[in-house]
Structure 1
């Protein structure tokens, strides 16, 4: 068995224009001061120059050196926002335009090409940084039709997933060339939003070795999906772990869909670690038993608590849940020290 690495923290929700959240140097000092050992870095913003990282090993060594000097290491890069733009249904064009570079906004074709290039650059950047996993979203073409009313036309979903696979296969091949696992965060709003939809995609990319999973139980609480059974089913594909809490408190007035309410008023909402309903003791136990060797990464999203409080509490929470796996059985002290001959005698053989 292997001991999970951590605690680490995803920096996306903390990035800002004011210190200590403005530069990689400042934010890694802040994270280390809270007890984090690693940082997951978004590729949009001020923390990394993606094009430079894709082309320069020296630059990547410099970036790693900044983090190391402050007491943390870079665990993975993230292209959640760019991955979303690989596949966008026209209904979401206006909403998602803000994720893209200014020069491609208002032009869906150019925006998609830009997003694909961002993923290609990230494969090379991850390799230059010596990373082995990368986080992203799948994007979505079929999401507006997630609820079958009116009845979906025959072949609609299948065509959406065929196209999704066509768009992602060259990207997956680039990550194969780089030696990096591409890990999809299974998430509402993406066509890959549960196990079945992931399997539909996986089949269409011919079970691509790099089409793997970022496990985040919070999204499964909100869907009422069994997040422990999910680990049993998909543990061989789980290569990344977001430690994020959530709660689901349905009433006679609302349930999974939330009645168009804001996050505070929804039946299902994200919470800071320890404030929700996720059974993290069971999750960490299952991941340890399945030899998950990756990082336990805090992703802070909470409808109530201040992010800096969530980050401070989260480091200790993760540290206390990581299981240092044993190298021996608890009953080794009672071992009889028998050999083959003795075993055969005990079984009445010979």
Structure 2
């Protein structure tokens, strides 16, 4: 077994236009002051990384890594959530998702998708240059408008959607194999890959590609009423990344999973700052340790109520407490009888005579 690395923090929810959150140096100093050991970098934020340069210039990648390390931190992974979202977009979402791409690509879904693919290529190569083994992303979605079948879905609609999604991602997964990087899909409502069943459908379509893996985030499973602990038992071999994010689900006689179009504070299911929700992190850390998870425990902070700085400060301490430092000997070694093959044979009723 391996001790999970951490605590680390995903910077997407904290980067901003004001110091110390507007430069890599400033945000590293801030994260280190809270006790974090790693940072996960959103690749769409030019204040923190020049993605194309990190892919094409190894010296720049080394400089980036050196800057982070100078604050006692490590880069845990890169994130391409926004670019991954643009790999597959249903037309009804085009106007909203234009915001994830440069202005010159707005109202041009084809060129926007090509840009997103190139961004994934850069992120894979940048990960390789930085010595990182995993890359976070979203799958995008052709099928989300049809998630609840009314009217009845046409025959083979889901089959067609996953076939086309796989066509988009297979060349990218092959590049991941070339650069020894695992692509980790965050299973998330709004994406075609949002639970175990949809991940299985996708895996089949990409021929069980070894680089198609999972970013495990229990908060999204709480909001779907999915057994997030059993999920680890089933998919632990594919779980290569871990977001530590809390959530709660409090259904009533008036509202359930779909949330009644309410804002986050009024929903039955909502994200909470770590420690304030219903996720059993002690059990999660135990299972991931049991299955020898090799990665980082990365705080992703989202909360409908709490201040982000308080959430970040508390999150570092919570993760420290949840991480299980694995032992180098069994707890009952004091009662060990030693190793003797003759004795072992006698104990099972065999004799050398």
| 1:29 and 2:29 aligned | yes
1:64-83 deviation line (CA, Å, top 9, x unaligned): 11101111110000000000
RMSD: 0.5
Q: In 2, Cα distance between the equivalents of 1:149 and 1:257? A: 15
Distance in 2, Cα, partners of 1:39 & 1:338: 46
Deviates more, 1:225-234 or 1:98-107: 98-107
Q: Give secondary structure in 1 for the equivalent of 2:253.
A: coil
Q: How does 1:138-157 map to 2 (within 5 A)?
A: 138-157=139-158
In 1, Cα distance between the equivalents of 2:178 and 2:346?
Answer: 55
Q: Output one character per residue of 1:148-172: Cα deviation in whole Å (capped at 9) or x when no partner.
A: 0000000111101000000000010
For residue 336 of structure 1, report the CA deviation from its aligned partner: 1.0
- Counterpart of 2:62? 61
Alpha-carbon distance, 1:338 to partner: 3.7
1:338, 1:314 → 2: CA distance? 45
Paired residue for 1:194?
A: 195
C-alpha separation in 1, matches of 2:7 and 2:319 = 6
Correspondence 1:271-286 to 2 at 5 A: 271-286=272-287
Q: For 1:147 and 1:215, how far apart are their aligned partners in 2?
A: 24
CA contact (8 A) 1:247 1:270 kept: yes
The residue that corresponds to 1:250 in the other structure is 251
Where in structure 2 are the equivalents of 1:95-244 lying within 5 Å? 95-244=96-245
CA distance in 1, matches of 2:55, 2:4: 28
Residues 287-302 of structure 1 aligned to structure 2 (within 5 Å): 287-302=288-303
Misfit runs of 4+, over 3 Å: none
The two structures have a TM-score, normalised by structure 2, of: 0.99
TM-score (norm 1): 0.99
* CA offset digits 1:268-326 (Å, max 9, x no partner): 00000000000000000000000001000000000000101000000000000000011
Cα distance in structure 2, aligned partners of 1:103 and 1:71: 39
Cα distance in structure 1, aligned partners of 2:67 and 2:28: 8
- Aligned equivalents of 1:228, 1:192: Cα separation in 2: 18
Q: CA deviation at 1:347?
A: 1.8
Unaligned runs of 5+ in 1: none
Offset at residue 173 of structure 1 (A): 0.6
